Amino acid sequence: MSSKLHLQNAEVANYKVQQIIDFKGNPLIEALPNILSPEEAFNGLSYFPEFDQQEKTLPTHIRYHAILRLNRFFQPVMQHLDLEQRFSRLIRHGYISRNPLSPNFTANLSSGHNHLNGLETKNDIRSTASSMTLMGFSGIGKTTAIERVLSLYPQLIIHKHPLNITQVVWLKLNCPHDGSLKSLCMDFFLKMDQLLGTNYLEKFGSKRNSISAMVTRMGQVARLHCVGALIIDEIQHLLASRDNNSEKMMNFFVTLVNEIGVPVMMIGTMRAKSVLQKDFRQARRGSGQGDMVWQQMQKDDDWDLLIESIWDYQWLQNKVDLTEELNQTIYEESQGIVDIAVKLFALSQGRAIETGQETITPALIKKVAKDDLKLVQPMLKALKDGRLSELEKYEDIMPMDIAEYLQHHQSKIDLRASIQKKKALIAEQKKEVRASLVEKIMLTLINFDVDSLLAEKFTTKAINELPQSSEVEIVARAMQLLAEEKNKKKRNRTKEHENKLKLVIDKGKKEQKSAYEALKETGYIKLPQDDFAI
């Protein structure tokens, strides 16, 4: 194995004391991040992009670029917290039967290899891995949500001597467009090579290798590197497969879960329903995580909180407060699909800037939806009307009966309070960063023999004027402001002096004295001999 590792998302194992008996003494679990409470998960999943009020004053063509920042906005709602909890259970319970300190670990590697090759084995260690599926409408945020959850975990954990294991905590693959199992295997080997610096693709991924050989190696490599969870996105592409590839791939996933012990999470649109219900049911027999089906959001507290939070991101000169009418309009025009709601809010701002209206109205939102979201209008209308005959044309957004899926309850948290805490934390962090910057620039100015009070005054003023500029630019501006202040004081002193002379001369005129006499009497003019007077 090459010594070059993809270290961007890697960390050296830091073993934590476990409270669950099943997790104790298993370094693969002990090295994972702590199990998060709902509040901790909310903070970890949230991403509120930077926003500066002064950007509203920027020229039109520059503000368009700022609006795109909305694409990175992510505020969890209850279904995201549910996903995080389920994934946490999925990955930890999958490791229970794969403890590298157990004498059965090596035997299990051989057992998995033999199972994949169709050989009998006497090893009857039961896999603790399970699987789960996540289905939902296109644009509902499935991929974004799982990527935010995965960001809570390092992708690689390096276990030093005596284990000498590089643990691959998770690996996410996209199902090939043609549903080819061979392409999926090649993508797996490629991703593992990029992470570990290995050459698995070269050794096992060549076109001359059969699918069965690739599948065998893929399963064994996943077991060898202790893959915590395999996430397969866009699983609906299996519908495009030919020559029974769909069945072969699903059977392989079943083997990964039940025999190799690697948990599998499958993500797809509503089109994947037929594939998953038909071919993946046996892999779900031991699933403790159930399946998740995400439809459009309801107009409830979760939706209101989402819109309230995103509404702060306005780059319009005439900011408008969120009203129930505006909220309702966005919901009706997006039908609760988050991706469309965010795009609609961003496009509405762009239209408001373009037209010079510089504010958002319900009429503007409706017009933007009609003009700029033409491609999705038939689907949105079908959702709005609830016409099943129409919805069947758009399988990606076909509603499903959630009642037939196992639902798990979890403790609720006050999302509104959590959002306020998160915003307060961000504000406090900004305050600390600003204070640190002020201090650094003040010290720079003081080193130039600038009085400390003046240094603080002009540092603060320069930062307010140039909030997005570099430290060097802010120092230069502060020095410029200081020079301007000194020149201003100098001019004022000169002017004050000139005013005093004028008052003396004007007074002399009233007393019928010449300017020379008046200035001489008040001591502004001295004769040469005065300097030598005894």
Which residues span the domain enclosing 496? 418-521
* DSSP H or E segment with residue 233: strand 230-233
Look at residue 485 and tell me whether its pLDDT is greater than 50.
Answer: yes
Dist. CA 75–CA 308, nearest whole Å: 11
* Domain endpoint, select from 294, 321, 349: 294
Do 25 and 49 share a structural domain? no
Look at residue 251 and tell me whether its pLDDT is greater than 90.
Answer: no
Q: Each residue of 486-529: pLDDT tens digit?
A: 787 777 676 666 677 777 777 777 777 777 777 777 776 666 55
The set of residues, in sequence order, having a beta carbon less than 8 Å from that of 344 and lying 6+ positions away, is: 330, 333, 334, 365, 368, 369, 373
What are the start-end ranges of the E strands in 56-182? Answer: 131-136, 156-159, 165-168, 171-174
Quote the crossing angle between the two packed helices 324-334 and 338-355, to the nearest 10°. Answer: 120
247 versus 340: which is more confidently predicted? 340
Q: Which residue has the tokens 């050296």?
A: 12
Give the pair of three-digit tokens for residue 212: 């069965």
Q: Each residue of 443-462: pLDDT tens digit?
A: 777 777 777 777 778 778 87
Q: Which residue has the tokens 């050459």?
A: 199
Do 91 and 131 share a structural domain? yes
Least confident among 164-173, 236-245, 353-362: 236-245
Give the SS3 label for residue 293: strand
Do 209 and 101 share a structural domain? yes
173 conformational bin, left if phi > 0, alpha if psi -120 to 50, beta if neither? beta
Do 181 and 102 share a structural domain? yes
Q: What percent of the chain has pLDDT over 90?
A: 32
Nearest to 414 by CA among 334, 499, 302, 326: 302
Other residues' Cβ atoms within 10 Å of the Cβ of residue 314: 23
Do 96 and 66 share a structural domain? no
Kindly tell me the sign of the dihedral angle through the C-alpha atoms of 134, 297, 381, 339.
negative
- CATH code where residue 20 lies: 3.40.50.300
Q: Radius of gyration over alpha carbons of the chain, in Å?
A: 34
Q: Is residue 401 part of a domain?
A: no
Nearest to 266 by CA among 238, 291, 235, 236: 235
Kindly tell me the sign of the dihedral angle through the C-alpha atoms of 216, 222, 223, 229.
negative
Q: Is residue 526 part of a domain?
A: no
Do 351 and 241 share a structural domain? no
**3-state secondary structure string, 158-179?**
EECCCCCEEEECCEEEECCCCC
Do 322 and 199 share a structural domain? no
Q: Considering its fold, how many domains does the chain have in total?
A: 3
Q: Each residue of 196-224: pLDDT tens digit?
A: 999 999 999 887 888 888 888 888 899 88
Contact between residue 140 and residue 342 where contact means Cβ atoms under 8 Å apart: no
Least confident among 38-42, 140-144, 176-180: 176-180
Do 446 and 322 share a structural domain? no
Q: Is residue 188 part of a domain?
A: yes
Dist. CA 334–CA 397, nearest whole Å: 13
Q: Which residue has the tokens 């610096």?
A: 197
Do 227 and 205 share a structural domain? yes
Predicted pLDDT of residue 403:
34
Q: What percent of the chain has pLDDT over 70?
A: 80
Q: Is residue 92 part of a domain?
A: yes
What distance, in Å, lies between the first and last C-alpha atoms of the chain?
102
Q: Is residue 19 part of a domain?
A: yes
Extract long-range pairs of 98-105: CB within 8 Å, 24+ residues apart.
98/28, 98/223, 98/226, 98/261, 99/25, 99/26, 99/27, 99/28, 100/27, 100/28, 100/159, 100/163, 100/165, 100/226, 101/25, 101/26, 101/27
Contact between residue 139 and residue 339 where contact means Cβ atoms under 8 Å apart: yes
325 versus 372: which is more confidently predicted? 325
The residues that bridge with 232 in the sheet, in sequence order, are 173, 266
Do 53 and 19 share a structural domain? no
* Domain endpoint, select from 318, 338, 372: 372
Do 208 and 87 share a structural domain? yes
Predicted pLDDT of residue 452:
75
Other residues' Cβ atoms within 10 Å of the Cβ of residue 94: 26
Arithmetic mean of pLDDT, 151-164: 93
The set of residues, in sequence order, having a beta carbon less than 8 Å from that of 529 and lying 6+ positions away, is: none
Do 105 and 117 share a structural domain? yes
Q: Is residue 465 part of a domain?
A: yes
Out of 254-258, 369-373, 430-434, the most confident range is 369-373
Q: Does residue 162 have a cis peptide bond before it, meaning omega lies within 30 degrees of 0? A: yes
Dist. CA 79–CA 389, nearest whole Å: 28
What are the start-end ranges of the E strands in 376-427? Answer: none
Q: Is residue 398 part of a domain?
A: no
Q: Is residue 453 part of a domain?
A: yes
Q: Each residue of 361-375: pLDDT tens digit?
A: 999 999 999 988 887
**3-state secondary structure string, 441-453?**
HHHHHHCCCCCHH
Q: Each residue of 274-292: pLDDT tens digit?
A: 666 665 554 444 345 667 8
* DSSP H or E segment with residue 276: helix 273-279
Taking the model in full, what pTM does it have? 0.74
The set of residues, in sequence order, having a beta carbon less than 8 Å from that of 156 and lying 6+ positions away, is: 5, 6, 7, 9, 10, 11, 166, 167, 168, 169, 195, 196
Other residues' Cβ atoms within 10 Å of the Cβ of residue 257: 25
* Domain endpoint, select from 311, 341, 372: 372
Predicted pLDDT of residue 410:
41
Predicted pLDDT of residue 44:
94
Q: Each residue of 87-138: pLDDT tens digit?
A: 999 999 999 989 999 887 777 666 655 655 555 555 445 677 888 889 887 7
Helices and strands per DSSP (H, E), number in the chain: 21, 8
Dist. CA 367–CA 374, nearest whole Å: 11
Q: Residue 259 gets which letter from DSSP?
A: I
Nearest to 284 by CA among 406, 174, 396, 184: 406
**Residue 204 CA: distances (Å) to CA of 212, 218, 222, 232, 342:** 11, 9, 13, 20, 43
Arithmetic mean of pLDDT, 347-374: 91
